[in-house]
A = this chain, B = another copy of it.
Amino acid sequence: MSYNIRLLIDCPDRKGLIAAISSFIAMHNGNILSADQYVSDSGRFFMRLVIEGEGFGLRKEEFGAAFTPLARQYSMNWQIYYTDQPKRVAILVSKQDHCLVDLLWRWDAGELPAEIPLVISNHTNAASRVEAYGIPFYHLPVTKETREEQEDKILELLDKYSIDLVVLARYMQILTPKVVNAYRQRMINIHHSFLPAFVGANPYHQAHARGVKIIGATAHYVTEELDAGPIINQDIAHVSHRDTVQDMIRIGREVERRVLARAVRWHLEDRVLVDGNRTVVFE
């Protein structure tokens, strides 16, 4: 089966980096399909290379040994992904299912290169929608008292299904550091405001009370601090005095769906690198 290779690199910027990397690829007869590069203000170099699998001289199991000396020389962090090994995604959701339904439809339509082995919810309402796609649905209800226990079950499932990416598709529970740390930079949340405005609960109510003329949504990696992780994507919609909180919720659903789907697709295509609390997105 034909596939491509995606190589992500970040390291201190130095002269000759691109030459060194691209020569390494050329030496092994690799055909570079696309190359993106960025140097941050603080002098850190980020790169994303897509190499054609066919004809590339290094087998999957050989790449690491061959690339390590170069990586060491330049103090690189690097990751390699193969498009014939799509990421395995778990979606967590609560009652609001618009993001879930949207992701499932896009996945089914081929927009999201992933496997979705399971959906987890603390409610039951989305069960039939999920199962219609042939995806196992796990109902893990939660109360203040059972939080830890429920999270352990979640972690167990994520582990059992070898999950690469956790998508919080309007999952309205705050996760403890235990879970957050286990999926650092591998857990995407959609927050229904243009962060950093309206952190926390009921952002549309907050927005309406403040009388804003735009509402928005933010997809970000989850960190310990609530709604403060690296932002991947944001967008907004215009509202007017006529829009009630209910209208904002309706309008916002559309923005949330779009923003989350884009962030998830970018992550699945290995387009997102993290630079401290900022993201580098090679669109």
Binding site for B on A (CB under 8 A): 15-20, 22-23, 25-27, 29-41, 98, 101, 105, 109, 111, 128, 132, 194-198, 210-214, 216, 230-236, 238, 240-242, 244, 250, 253-254, 258, 275-281, 283
- CB distance B109 to A105 under 8 Å? no
A30 pairs with B15, CB closer than 8 A: yes
Contacting pair A236 B258 (CB below 8 A): no
* A33/B38 in contact, CB under 8 A: no
Across the interface, which residues of B come within 8 angstroms of A33, CB to CB?
39
Nearest residue, chain B, Cβ from A35 = B37
| 16 residue pairs A–B, Cβ–Cβ below 8 Å | A15-B26, A15-B29, A19-B19, A19-B26, A22-B23, A36-B36, A40-B241, A211-B230, A211-B278, A212-B231, A213-B231, A213-B232, A214-B235, A240-B281, A240-B283, A241-B280
- The complex is assembled from copies of this chain, and their number is 4
Which residues of chain B are within 8 angstroms of A101 by Cβ–Cβ distance?
105
Query: Distance (Å) between the CB of A47 and the closest chain B CB?
Result: 9
The listed residue (B128, B197, B213) touching A233 by CB distance below 8 A is: B213
Bound form: Cα–Cα A32–B281 in Å = 20
Q: What chain B residues lie within 8 Å of A277 (beta carbons)?
A: 210-211
Distance of A254 Cα from B98 Cα, bound (Å):
14
Which of B216, B230, B231, B241 is close to A278, meaning CB atoms less than 8 Å apart? B241
Q: A23-B23, A213-B232 are in contact. List 10 more A-B contacts (CB 8 A).
A: A15-B31, A20-B26, A22-B23, A34-B37, A195-B197, A195-B210, A211-B279, A214-B236, A240-B283, A241-B275
Complex partner residue of A198 from B37, B196, B198, CB under 8 angstroms: B196
Instruction: Kindly report which residue of chain B lies nearest to residue A31, judged by CB atoms.
Output: B15
| A210 partner, pick from B15, B109, B196, B244, beta carbons under 8 A | B196
CB distance from A202 to the nearest CB of B (A): 14
